[in-house]
Amino acid sequence: MTTSGATALVLASSSPRRRELLGRLGVEPTRIASPDIDETPLPGENPRAYALRLAQEKARAVPLAAGEIVLAGDTTVAVGRRILSKAETPEEQRAMLRLISGRRHQCISSVCVIDANGHARARLSQTIVIFKPLSTAEIEAYVACGEGLGKAGGYAIQGAAEALIRRIDGSHSGVMGLPLYETRALLRAAGMPLG
Ligand SMILES: Cc1cn([C@H]2C[C@H](O)[C@@H](COP(=O)(O)OP(=O)(O)OP(=O)(O)O)O2)c(=O)[nH]c1=O
């Protein structure tokens, strides 16, 4: 079977950012599924392998009907080999912001697309992000704004945090949650007729 014309795309993500970013490619998912997988890193797993594995597992966790293709992603922030997952509490967020203050970190975003024939393809995007050295007052003001909670590394580039970021080298959409260059390539390879 080939996928062409009106391809039914399932977005395997509960992230509103991924849906919004997908929209920038002119793609509207036919349905959204929330993959429920264990996001615990394996012992000794490096951040790139971790991000890739999670996107693949999220995509595979969604049962598909005939003709559907599925897209999933993962965004992981890493300082060296240390993985910073989503900040769940303000305390976790403060600790993450102190760690990334004034030094470079990696923001690794993975995408996995499984086509209608069950063929899985995945890509990684890796971006270097450098925050200014953050004072305690800056960290507290940022935590108080609430935007970084539930986000990898405790910040969201698509908001107030951007004014604290001195430099990024890589993909802005990747840091937000879905690297559009890689996503476009994977969807085209899966048979979606994108321009
Ligand atoms: C670094 C950064 C992360 N994030 C978000 C993107 C992701 O939603 C989140 C990382 O968590 P993920 O586990 O990648 O995604 P999720 O749990 O939100 O959604 P799902 O697994 O269902 O697809 O952090 C931003 O929105 N902005 C940023 O600048």
Alpha-carbon gap, residue 9 to 7, rounded angstroms: 6
Q: What integer pLDDT is reported at residue 195 of this predicted model?
A: 79
Tell which atom from ligand 1 comes closest to the C-alpha of 176: 27
CA-based torsion, 178, 181, 186, 188: positive or negative: positive
Task: Note whether residue 48 is domain-resident.
Answer: yes
Residue ranges making up the domain that contains 150? 8-189
Q: What integer pLDDT is reported at residue 3 of this predicted model?
A: 38
Do residues 177 and 21 lie in contact, with contact meaning Cβ atoms separated by under 8 Å? yes
Alpha-carbon gap, residue 27 to 57, rounded angstroms: 22
Task: Note whether residue 38 is domain-resident.
Answer: yes
Q: What integer pLDDT is reported at residue 2 of this predicted model?
A: 38
Q: What integer pLDDT is reported at residue 4 of this predicted model?
A: 42
Q: What integer pLDDT is reported at residue 6 of this predicted model?
A: 64
Task: Note whether residue 130 is domain-resident.
Answer: yes
ipTM: 0.96
The count of domains in the chain is 1
Task: Note whether residue 99 is domain-resident.
Answer: yes
Do residues 114 and 72 lie in contact, with contact meaning Cβ atoms separated by under 8 Å? no
CA-based torsion, 181, 182, 183, 187: positive or negative: positive
Q: Which residue, among 79, 88, 107, 80, has the nearest Cα to 39 in the 3D structure?
A: 88
Alpha-carbon gap, residue 119 to 126, rounded angstroms: 24
Ligand 1 center from residue 171 Cα (angstroms): 15
Task: Note whether residue 78 is domain-resident.
Answer: yes
Phi, psi of 68 (to 5 degrees): -85, 145
The residues lining ligand 1, judged by C-beta closer than 6 Å to any ligand atom, are 13-15, 17-18, 34, 58, 73-75, 77, 86, 107, 151-153, 155-158, 175-177
The number of residues making up the chain comes to: 195
- State the 10-residue block means of pLDDT for the chain, 195 residues long: 64 96 96 94 96 98 95 97 95 98 98 96 98 98 97 97 98 98 97 88
Task: Note whether residue 195 is domain-resident.
Answer: no
- Residue 78 belongs to domain with CATH number: 3.90.950.10
Angle formed by the axes of helices 136-145 and 90-100, to 10°?
140
Task: Note whether residue 31 is domain-resident.
Answer: yes
Q: What integer pLDDT is reported at residue 7 of this predicted model?
A: 84
Task: Note whether residue 25 is domain-resident.
Answer: yes
Determine the residue of 13, 19, 75, 110 to mutate for testing ligand 1's pocket, defined as the one with the most ligand atoms within 8 A of the Cβ atom. Answer: 75
Choosing from 36, 38, 74, 169, the catalytic residue is: 74
